[in-house]
Amino acid sequence: MTERVVLAYSGGLDTSVAIGWIAEETGAEVVAVAIDCGQGGEDLETIRQRAIDCGAVEAVVADAKDEFATDFCLPALRANALYMDRYPLVSALSRPLIVKHLANAAQYHNATMVAHGCTGKGNDQVRFEAGLAALAPGLRVLAPVRDSGMTRDKAIAFAAEKGLPIDVTKKSPYSIDQNLWGRAVETGFLEDIWNGPIEDVYSYTSDPAVPREADELVLTFEAGVPTAIDGKELTPLQIIEELNRRAGEQGVGRIDMVEDRLVGIKSREVYEAPGAIALIAAHQELENVTVERELARFKRTVDQRWGELVYDGLWFSPLKEALDGFIDQANRHVSGEVRLVLHGGRAVVTGRRSPSALYDYQLATYDTGDTYDQTLAKGFVDIWSMPAKIAAERDRRQG
């Protein structure tokens, strides 16, 4: 029986050429799997037909936008996931979803191998292979671009020789990956880290320097999950799409950073994540209102580690699963409303209210009606500062 390879298929040059390349190198049949995570572009049927035309014995396409929004973006939101305190895990979130579909397709089609089009320089090779090791450890992994010398010029020549239906005449100067949660841009002139990004780089966001009226909205959350905008109940997918549009029109979510890749090199990345940045800003502020101080302090540590695990390709790891349980518990009372103003590239919280608020006006006010007993503070301060006072006295005695 002929072996089968399941290929993570994007519809672009490299993965289209990889269909024939893998068949020639291994003698195996190729099943192409394309997953729509909200990246836009060509419709799934066009991509499916291209895979067949390039030699795939079967092509599986799936609209996974709702799944991506609910099962991947929302957990990242509840974890306030920002790698290096800035990057909202755009590409890192879509990879475990794709891996899940690859593993399912491999089982369904009795495949013995899975292939991806990643290079040896990036994080995605790790994300694909670590995910597959967790979900389908018996599968072999092929990486033609990384391991078989399938350079771009060789891929173009292969496509021409085989008459593959691939248009390679229009090449973007950038490497772009995008989905529902945001857009990542690298390479080209951006590799010189002194060069500033130009407007041509951006697609999800408008120039924040252009004068325009501010946009105000109210987000409703239940247990850390956004459920409505301006009182209108929406699905997670609809909320992210709406905020991508409205925050994007205000230039919210532009990020230009030098990032520490998992493989040990630094990389200059430009991101656009209008919906993600707006949602995280609102969620963090609602946590400030509803989460007790010590829990909030510890959660910030958990959030950082959660983001690092996902960035590093360990979505399916035991530690990440355990942290999910903590984050679920910490979000139990994160319910209420947050008012956001989107303007000039920023998402600014201007109001917050919650039935679970720990904010007590009568304790916080400095006006008449204050219920805080200030006479208790002196003893508290004395006891709180005692260890430092004792240590300082010792240091003085010892010179």
CA distances from 272 to 211, 238, 317 (A): 20, 18, 28
Pick the closest to residue 73 from 280, 300, 323, 340 (CA basis).
280
Tell me if 15 is assigned to a ligand binding site: yes
What is the DSSP pairing of strand 266-272 with strand 182-186? antiparallel
Residue 32 phi/psi, 5-degree rounding, is: -90, 135
Residue 124 catalytic?
yes
Radius of gyration of the chain (CA): 25
10 annotated among ligand-binding-site residues: yes
CA dist 112 and 59 (Å) reads: 17
- Do the annotations mark residue 259 as ligand-binding? yes
The per-residue DSSP string of 137-158 comes to: TT-EEE-HHHHS---HHHHHHH
What gap in Å lies between CA 389 and CA 392, rounded to an integer?
5
Query: What DSSP assignment string belongs to 236-273?
Result: HHHHHHHHHHHHHHTTTTEEEEEEE-TTS-EEEEEEE-
Is 366 annotated in a binding site? The answer is: no
Q: Is 169 annotated as a binding residue?
A: no
**Given 175, 212, 230, 332, the catalytic residue:** 175
Running DSSP on this structure, what letter comes out for residue 89? -
- 385 annotated to bind ligand: no
Write down the catalytic residue from 4, 48, 95, 268. 95
Residue 271 is assigned to a ligand binding site: yes
Q: Is 8 annotated as a binding residue?
A: yes
Catalytic residue among 4, 14, 48, 94: 14
Give the rounded distance of the alpha carbon of 204 from its chain centre: 15
The annotation status of 12 as a binding-site residue, yes or no, is yes
The type of residue at 270 is: V
* 124 in a known ligand binding site: yes
Residues in the chain: 399
In terms of DSSP bridges, do strands 113-115 and 58-63 run parallel, antiparallel, or are they unpaired? unpaired
3-state SS assignment for residue 208: coil
* Amino acid at position 51, single letter: A
**Does 300 qualify as catalytic in the annotation?**
no
Q: Is 71 a known ligand-binding residue?
A: no
Catalytic residue among 36, 91, 124, 352: 124
Q: Are 269 and 186 in contact (CB under 8 A)?
A: yes
Active site residue 207: no
Burial 213-248 (b: 16+ CB within 10 A, else e): eeeebebbbeebbbbbbeeeebebbebbbbbbebbb
Closest CA to 316 of 65, 88, 118, 133: 133
Is position 360 annotated as part of the catalytic site?
A: no
325 annotated to a ligand binding site: no
Write out the binding residues. 8-16, 87, 117, 119, 123-124, 127, 175, 259, 271
Annotated binding site for L-citrulline: 87, 123, 127, 175, 259, 271
Q: Catalytic residue numbers?
A: 14, 95, 124, 175
In the annotated binding site for ATP, the residues are 8-16, 117
